[in-house]
A = this chain, B = another copy of it.
Amino acid sequence: MATSPITPDRPLRRDAERNRQAILAAARDAFAEDGLSVTLDEIARRAGVGVGTVYRRFPDKEQLIDALFEDEIRGFVALAEDCLGAEDSWDGLMRFVEQACEVHACDRGFKEVALSGVHGLERVSRARELMVPVVTRLVHRAQADGKLRADVVPTDLPLIQLMLGALSECTRDVDPDAWRRYLGIVMDGLRAHREAPTPLAHPGLDVVQVQDAMRAWRPAAR
């Protein structure tokens, strides 16, 4: 028994590694389109492999999520740090919230990982925690400049994201950019001073669109 029969980190066989990549790619797409609730069966179907293969590579969905989203979250943190460097503190904050909404609007999986707190293992949670200090500094900087109303606190931002995310979830099929309109309204509410309303980036929906959006709204289950 000089060498154990299975070395834990022996590289995968070539075909197996190819499948692993296919699974990751399929999962990324599926999660982005349909959110984290897609089944591993569906991911297998998209990747063109059997369910068994998926389960061998990723013992459960959480590990697949963890592997996929750690990088994405870190990338997003970097993006937030970039907003800290904007010359105008309000623009930086605004850009941050807008980009967050953008990502949430086109990647449901990311949104769920970022907002929900229940998904992901250590790696993702640790990455998520990196957000806190950056957001705090974004808020305080804009307040120090007198641009952001003094009575908001950093923890307001995730909740505002949550509101806009819920909206964009409903309007995604009706008018995918509708959230920009409501982001405009909320941001106007966040300004410290403002004589006139800032023009809204997006037109209002008509009655039929609102009806369809409402139909898309699903109450939290159970």
Contacts and interface: CB of A to CB of B under 8 A. Distances in A.
B171 A167 contact: no
Contact of A116 (B117, B187, B215): B215
A186 B163 CA distance: 11
Contacts of A56: none
- How many copies the complex holds: the figure is 2
A201 to B, nearest CB: 11
A211 B37 contact: no
Nearest to A222: B37
What secondary structure prevails in chain A residues at the interface with B?
helix
Contact of A166 (B158, B163, B210): B163
24 contacts: A111-B219, A112-B219, A115-B214, A116-B217, A117-B214, A132-B207, A149-B197, A158-B210, A159-B170, A159-B171, A159-B213, A160-B182, A162-B167, A162-B217, A163-B164, A163-B182, A185-B186, A185-B190, A188-B188, A188-B189, A192-B196, A193-B196, A194-B194, A217-B220
